[in-house]
Structure 1
Amino acid sequence: MSRIAFILLCHKDPEAIIAQAQRLTAVGDYMAIHFDARAKPEHYAAIREALADNPNVAFAKKRIKCGWGEWSLVEASLYAVEAALDAFPRATHFYMLSGDCMSVKSAEYAHDYLDRNDADFIESFDFFESDWIKTGIKEERLIYRHWFNERNNKWLFYKSLEVQQRLGLTRPIPHDIQVMIGSQWWCLRRQTIEAIVAFTKARKDVMKFFRTSWIPDETFFQTLVRHLVPEVEIRTRTLTFLMFSDYGMPVNFYNDHYDMLLSQDFLFARKISPEAKELRARLGDLWASEGVEFKISGEGRNLYRFLAGRGRIGRRFAPRFWEAESTLGRHRALLVLVCKKWHVAKRVTEQIRNHTDIPGPDYIFDEEGGDLPDLGGIESSKNKRARHRRALVRMLFDYYDSDKMMMCMDPSNLDLLLDFVSDRSSTRILEIDCEFTDEYLIGHAKRTGLAGDHTTQEQLERLVPTLRNDLHFEVDRIRDESLDHYYTIKETASTEENGNALLQFLEVDIDTALEIAETEHLFAD
């Protein structure tokens, strides 16, 4: 009978990881865990301690910091795979999971399914001929080298690409492999995993190639399986049920999706919402059950498209999700930087991105433009963003694939700020207290249309005190709310004082906070 070694890549929610490991191994299967080195050490310690006595759980011998789209995700997978190979000689299959995945069948059904299908399950489509990539760069993922993360260092990512294109610094794809692409959620037989690990040690040229490709978790295993395994032994599909909305975001499943999930021709599903407690409990009990019959209808994707499509023509069963009250998610943290000098706040966020893995946009509710991804039109104007602000921010959390995100806000936006503070998510606020010289205020008056080139000096001198009072009033209104988790860095404060405020706001170590606070000309105009 088949025995599954689950390869779990995770970075948060230690309680859920412990429960998932205990549940999946209780029936005799195995699990190898890689917990992101960026995560809190105490979370990893809690997982190790809780699972220390479970002989069916192993941990990757090396933990690395993972980033979306980077080679680090493949490297972490390989570390977990090698740990599973060494620890579980009786494992017949290796199944890639994330912390958001849960079984939608019983272990009895899953084992029987794998026994009846002697094959590797992995999406594996021709990289160049298929239309698997819907948006963004395609060929450039492979023929150029990528050293920077597009989400964390967007400017460096595209500047590096531009320089390579301008200088013609393309590179060849290894001549004897056909690059394939597909979902990273696979289930592979032991002999295939062993062949892949042997290949990684023998073919340093291929490993070097993939290390600097972009989003290699969608191409590495997909290419090697096709290279090493006869086509008749490959099923070009995943056994994990997942859907994407028409905004390109993963669809989350909730309590009322239970029956639909069980009727799909899949063994697992992602993403199960952290807030769907009832669904998680029912699916957890299902894995250990026996004698359950599953009626497979497979209508999930068509049903979702049908219901979503009705909204496009004005016929729908319920309001669109952004028209109803929604939450960002209890498990998420929104970091808001409040500053009247937008260029100073942007300088701070740039330093935060350079020193941490916290993503986020800048003044998305104050600037008409802004560097925002395509979210289906909801991001197209300031007015639309403000109307659907919670939906917009929730979609950005999903886009960045992070439970912590920052953004900037003008202090005049008190109502907007209070709306986010009232959400069930955790909201932390950093006031950036800048000095306003007369020269700056005169420039501000001209930029906002309160003064022009022909405004007399006498008029400007009368206007400056009024402007200064208005700016102070905006900040005082926020301070008068006595909000929790409110921190301040000041132009007049010492590096140590600002470092301590950043330490609490970002929840980083003191060295990182001080490096940000010590940035040269941080408050300069």
Structure 2
Amino acid sequence: MARIAYILLCHKDPEAIIMQAERLTATGDYISIHFDARAKPEHFRMLREALGHNPNVAFAEKRIKCGWGEWSLVEATLYAVETAVKRFPRASHFYMLSGDCMVIKSSEYIHNFLDDNDVDFIESFDFFESDWIKTGMKAERLIYRHWFNERTQKRRFYATFNLQKKLGFTREIPADIQVMIGSQWWCLRRQTIEAVLDFTRTRRDVMRFFRTTWIPDETFFQTLVRHLVPTPEIRSRTLTFLMFTDYGMPLTFYNDHYDLLLSQDFLFARKISPDAIELKERLGQLYAEKGVSFQISAEGPSLFKFLTGRGRIGKRFASRFWEAESTLGRDRELMLLVCKKWHVAKRLLGKIGEVTDIPTIAYLFNEEGTALPDLGGIQSTLGKRTRHRRALMRMLFDYYNTDRLVICLDPSALEFMQDFFSDRSMTRMLEIQCDFTDEYLTGHAIRIGLAGDQTPRDTLERLLPTIRRDIFNESDRIRDAGFENLGRMSQSAPEAEHVASIMSFLSIDEEKAREIAQTNYLFSD
């Protein structure tokens, strides 16, 4: 009979982890836990005290700090897997979980299912031929090296990426592997896991390659399993039920989704709401029950598409909060103030707020600390703002009870511009083109991590032309995108041209535009 070693990566909510571990090991299975080294030490102590006596629970022998999109997530998984292989020799399967997952079948059903299906379950689609990646970087994930976290070190991430791109510093994919992509929630047999671990010890070239790919948890195991295991022994699917909103976020399940979850052709589900106490209790009790039959209808995805947007009352699966709308609104006007020198844009933005009644917001997609109202959590981090950008903007329009709004964007944010201009709302853009001295560019290089206080002067002199050219190229990409309602305001242009640009951008009269154009020390560094 199958014996499962669950691989759990987690970073919070120790009480829920303890309950999950006790539930999953109560019927004879195992669990290996990697608890993020960034987490609170007292939470890890709580886990060790509560679970340390359980022989079916193990903790990864090495803990590291993890970050979204980084190699650290794969590395942490490997540490937990190595511990599980060593500590649990009777484990026949290894199942990847997160702290947000809950079992949606009984233990008896799961073990019978794995006994009847002697295969590996892991999504693994061809990286280049499939449409698994819908938007954003694709080949760039692999052919360039990524050393920094895109969410916490955004400037360094894109500065090093753009520099490699400009200088042509690409790399080759290891010749004998076909890169695959898919969900990180897999269930693999013991012989497959052991083959993967052997591969990591012998193929240092492949390990070096994946260490600097972007979001390797979607490609590493998916590629290695397909490389090591015959195709007939792989089912390219996950056994964990999850769906995504229009904004790319995993859908959250609540108390009224119990029957829906049980009818899906999956063994686990994510994400379960922290507030769904009743759902968690019912699923926890289900796991230990015997003789339960499940009527599989697999209606989840189609039901979601049918009901989403129809309101919450009386509906099992309608959207919540910011998931409801995908457009800003046909009658609304979004004005994008684009400038590489953030202090210049902020001065002009402040003056616009003084002279007009238009609400203004600074670099909300670039600076974590931008002042924003409480919108139910969607505004809390840069990651959420980026993933839900249209929904966030719609909520800001509603919050300020306005149909006109001005925000600042960095010129590198071409994806945001394209997204907003493709909306049914009216979008206008004013690009402020500043002069850049060598002193300013040196400071800019230091701020984004390309140089330091001790960087030799000759190195800086070689670096500055590249940075200057990169800034100019950002402006060219905006021009080449062919946006309608795009205006420019050059630092070297006369005041009359500034006034005309501001009048067109804000649709205001000349007197107000002139007052804004005369902002004190507007272009001063």
Of 372, 378, 384, the match for 2:397 = 384
Alignment of 1:224-243 (within 5 A): 224-243=224-243
CA offsets 1:471-514 (integer angstroms, 9 cap, x no match)? xxxxxxxxxxxxxxxxxxxxxxxxxxxxxxxxxxxxxxxxxxxx
1:273 aligned onto 2:269: no
> Whole-Å Cα distance in 1 between the matches of residues 115 and 273 of structure 2?
31
Alignment of 1:111-260 (within 5 A): 111-260=111-260
Kept in 2, the 8 Å contact 1:365–1:382? The answer is no
Equivalent position SS for 1:305: helix
Alignment of 1:285-304 (within 5 A): 285-304=285-304
Map of 1:69 onto structure 2:
69
Whichever residue aligns with residue 388 of structure 2, its letter is: L
Kept in 2, the 8 Å contact 1:322–1:388? The answer is no
> Whole-Å Cα distance in 2 between the matches of residues 309 and 248 of structure 1?
16
> Whole-Å Cα distance in 1 between the matches of residues 98 and 517 of structure 2?
63
Whichever residue aligns with residue 285 of structure 2, its letter is: D
Map of 1:373 onto structure 2:
386
- In the alignment, structure 2 segments of 5+ residues that lack a partner are 325-341, 347-366, 375-380, 403-501, 503-510
Q: Name the TM-score, length of structure 2 as normaliser.
A: 0.65
Map of 1:399 onto structure 2:
none
> Whole-Å Cα distance in 1 between the matches of residues 316 and 286 of structure 2?
30
Map of 1:512 onto structure 2:
none
- Report the CA distance between 1:385 and its aligned residue: 5.9
Q: Name the TM-score, length of structure 1 as normaliser.
A: 0.65
Map of 1:12 onto structure 2:
12
Whichever residue aligns with residue 2 of structure 1, its letter is: A
- Report the CA distance between 1:318 and its aligned residue: 10
> Whole-Å Cα distance in 2 between the matches of residues 205 and 264 of structure 1?
40
> Whole-Å Cα distance in 2 between the matches of residues 385 and 133 of structure 1?
32
Whichever residue aligns with residue 143 of structure 1, its letter is: I
> Whole-Å Cα distance in 1 between the matches of residues 401 and 282 of structure 2?
33
> Whole-Å Cα distance in 2 between the matches of residues 165 and 46 of structure 1?
47
Counterparts in 2 of 1:143 and 1:280: CA distance versus 1, 3 Å = same
Map of 2:370 onto structure 1:
362
Counterparts in 2 of 1:289 and 1:204: CA distance versus 1, 3 Å = same
Identity rate, percent:
66
Equivalent position SS for 1:193: helix
CA offsets 1:148-187 (integer angstroms, 9 cap, x no match)? 1111111111111100000100000000000000000000
Kept in 1, the 8 Å contact 2:147–2:157? The answer is yes
Equivalent position SS for 1:115: helix
Counterparts in 2 of 1:109 and 1:148: CA distance versus 1, 3 Å = same
Counterparts in 2 of 1:386 and 1:201: CA distance versus 1, 3 Å = same
Equivalent position SS for 1:34: strand
Whichever residue aligns with residue 108 of structure 1, its letter is: E
Counterparts in 2 of 1:273 and 1:206: CA distance versus 1, 3 Å = same
Q: Which region of structure 1 is more displaced relative to structure 2, 208-217 or 300-309?
A: 300-309
> Whole-Å Cα distance in 2 between the matches of residues 143 and 318 of structure 1?
40
> Whole-Å Cα distance in 2 between the matches of residues 388 and 20 of structure 1?
44
Whichever residue aligns with residue 143 of structure 2, its letter is: I
Equivalent position SS for 2:392: coil
Whichever residue aligns with residue 290 of structure 2, its letter is: E
- Report the CA distance between 1:248 and its aligned residue: 1.2
1:322 aligned onto 2:321: yes
> Whole-Å Cα distance in 1 between the matches of residues 318 and 219 of structure 2?
38
Equivalent position SS for 1:7: strand
> Whole-Å Cα distance in 2 between the matches of residues 123 and 451 of structure 1?
59
- Report the CA distance between 1:373 and its aligned residue: 1.9
Equivalent position SS for 2:308: helix
Equivalent position SS for 2:224: helix
Alignment of 1:326-475 (within 5 A): 360=368, 362-364=370-372, 372-375=385-388, 377-380=390-393, 383-384=396-397, 386=399, 452=515
> Number of paired residues?
368
CA offsets 1:324-359 (integer angstroms, 9 cap, x no match)? 99xxxxxxxxxxxxxxxx969x9xxxxxxxxxxxx9
> Whole-Å Cα distance in 2 between the matches of residues 324 and 180 of structure 1?
30
Counterparts in 2 of 1:305 and 1:292: CA distance versus 1, 3 Å = same
- Report the CA distance between 1:363 and its aligned residue: 3.8
Whichever residue aligns with residue 215 of structure 1, its letter is: I
- Report the CA distance between 1:322 and its aligned residue: 3.4
